[in-house]
Every structure is written in C-alpha cells, then in structure tokens.
Amino acid sequence: MNIHKVVIPVAGWGTRSLPATKNIPKEMLPVYNKPGVQYVVEEAIQAGIEDVVFITNRDKSAIEDHFDYNLQLEMVLERSGKEEALAAIRQVAEMVRIISIRQKRQLGLGHAVLCAKDVVRYDDAFAVMVGDDLMFGMSPGIRQLIEVAQSERLPVIGVMEVPQDRVSRYGIISGEEISPGIYQVRKLVEKPRVDQAPSRLAIIGRYVLTPEIFVHLEKISPGHGGEIQLTDALQGQASARGLLAVKIRGMRFDAGDWAEYLTANIYFALQDEELREDLVRRLKPLLG
C-alpha cells in the first residue's frame, strides 16, 4: 500500500476561535513561532508523504502562500544579511508540493474529503490530517497509522482515550481490541450524549483511507449539525470491508480550543532552550 499524498482540510469557518479568525485562517494562528498548520505538514513529511492536498476556501490563500516562495522578503533578508531567517523561510517554501482544491460550500469534514476525490482516486491509499489538530510524540501520529494500514491492508483511523465528560465533542468508536492498541471498529457515533457514548475512544484528526471511502461519502445524507460527516461514511466502511482504529501514542492539541491552543504554545516555547528559563520565570507569578 503506497501512500504519497495527504489531504488536509482547512476550509472550515473556525467559529470557535473568533474574533481571532475573522480574517486570519485558524490554521495560520501561530503556535510558538510557526503557524499551526506547519506542524501538521511537518508530521506528514516525517512519515514520508510528498504531496499535500489542501481543501481550502476563498479566504485561506495565506496557507498556500506560506508554503510558497516570497521573493521580495527573501531579497530584503538577503540584503540585510539575515541568513538564518532567510534559510528558515526558504525551507518552508521547499517543504512539499501543494495541490489546492476549493470547497465552495462548507458542508462538513466528509464533504471536504470528498472534494479530493479526483486527485487521490487512483492511489492505493491516502492520509487525511485535520489542519488544526496538532500531534507530537516519539513517532509521528500519522506514521503510526500508516504502519498498521500497510501491514493489515485496511483503512485505519487514529483514536485517543478522552475523559467521559468530553465524549460529546468527538466521534466515538466501539469495537474489539485485536492486538494491543489496535481495534476492529464496529460502531462510530458522531458527538454522542455523555450517557450514550459506546466508549471513551475518540476519533482524532488522523486517518489513512482508501478510495473506497468515496463510495460511502457519496451515499450518506447530512448527519450531525446538518453536515456531511466523515464519521458516517466511516461507519459504511467499517460495515462493508472493515476499518481499524489505532490508539495513537503522543500528545495532541486541538488548536480550535483556546485552552489547548494556549497550552500548545507554552509547550513549544518550553522546548526552546533560549526561551525556557525566561518564560518559566514570567509564568510562575501568574500561576500564583
């Protein structure tokens, strides 16, 4: 199973992050010194992915521009001898090949994935990574899924255990654990009520799918919130040919949630040796 492309949907409105996202894409909000979406793209690269398919809308061109050259800025940095900054911005431009697809109406995550059909339909499989879900650990989250998808020859979704009072924010799965941390998925429910969730295993923004998913996406009607839900199409996949879930090891931050977004900022800033001491000194009195 060869996996060369990742679909990164970034076309949502980002209403939870207003007013910050009135004119700036949510995925471009900085997490320490990089836009959040750059961490997602870097995770894909670490897993050997070469092409990024952004599902965008008319207000998101800043994302494509970020992964392109900015010749004017390069000239300014070159003239002023700012070699380090110059290397950093060139490196981002050279990171990946970009394919952009417009999602003209924001009909949900499932619909966003369906927009990529013509670009990935002849691939064995492709990755989907949600543009505002940041993940860190020893092994890149998406690579953990690719390894299982390649050995089992089945589509795989990433899950993490969440506290009971948070299940209604996620798609929740149930199924049998067939080997440690790997589940044969039976049921998927989008944002269940706390008392109706079949487990605490929440679907997070990492998937390895096969073109078969388009058959299911084309069949389903709008679900939770009137949107075309990827979770509903995954139920079709689980019932037809089968679907696995892998409990991803590592840390995860939803950049669309302020507490998690701000924690991610502090986490990354603390990894920078030059900043760490000063930051801790300034944070301590704030924590009381």
> Residue 53 or 244: which CB sits closer to ligand UTP?
53
Determine how β-strand 5-9 pairs with β-strand 244-247. unpaired
Per CB under 6 A, does 116 bind ligand UTP?
Answer: no
Among 10, 172, 208, 238, binds ligand UTP (CB under 6 A): 10
Sign of the Cα pseudo-torsion (24, 26, 30, 34, in order): negative
> Residue 40 or 238: which CB sits closer to ligand UTP?
40
List, in sequence order, the alpha helices (H) in the chain: 36-46, 61-66, 71-79, 83-93, 109-114, 117-120, 141-152, 212-219, 230-240, 258-271, 273-287
Q: Which of residues 128-147 bind ligand UTP (CB under 6 A)?
A: 130-132
Q: Which residue is nearest to ligand UTP (CB)?
A: 12
Among 93, 107, 270, 275, binds ligand UTP (CB under 6 A): 107
Per CB under 6 A, does 220 bind ligand UTP?
Answer: no
Among 3, 9, 216, 248, binds ligand UTP (CB under 6 A): 9
> Residue 115 or 154: which CB sits closer to ligand UTP?
115
DSSP 38-96: HHHHHHHHHTT--EEEEEE-TT-HHHHHHTS--HHHHHHHHHTT-HHHHHHHHHHHTS-
Where does this chain bind ligand UTP (CB under 6 A)?
9-17, 26, 55, 103, 106-109, 111-112, 130-132, 256
